[in-house]
Amino acid sequence: MKSAQGAACFEIIADGKPRSMRDLKETALEAGKYLKHMHPQSEVSVRLIQDDTVTVIDGATIVALDLATAGTMAKR
C-alpha cells in the first residue's frame, strides 16, 4: 500500500521512538523483525500511519493488534 503523496506509510518504532519509515508492509515487518533481532531487549512495533494501527514485533513471532493483520498472519 502506497500513500497518495508517494511517502512512506509504515513507521518502525523502537522503545517508543520512531526509527525508520517504509512504504510496503512486508518490508516494514522485516525491518522490525531485524531490529528486534539486533536489540532483543527493545520493544519494537510497526505502525500504519494512515489509521494508526500497530503491529508489535515480539522476537521471531509477530503479534498483530489489528484484526486485518491478525487474519492474514493466522493463515500463514
Read off the pLDDT of residues 15-70 as tens digits, 9 standing for 90 and up: 999 999 999 999 999 999 999 988 989 999 999 999 889 999 987 555 555 555 55
Q: In whole angstroms, what is the distance from residue 47 CA to residue 50 CA?
A: 9
16 neighbors 42 (Cβ within 8 angstroms): no
| H-run or E-run covering 64 | strand 61-64
pLDDT of residue 60: 55
Residue with cell 523483525: 33
How many of the other CB atoms lie within 10 Å of CB of 48? 18
Q: Tell me what pLDDT residue 44 has.
A: 94
Strand 10-14 relative to strand 44-48, pairing? antiparallel
pLDDT of residue 8: 76
pLDDT score, position 45: 94
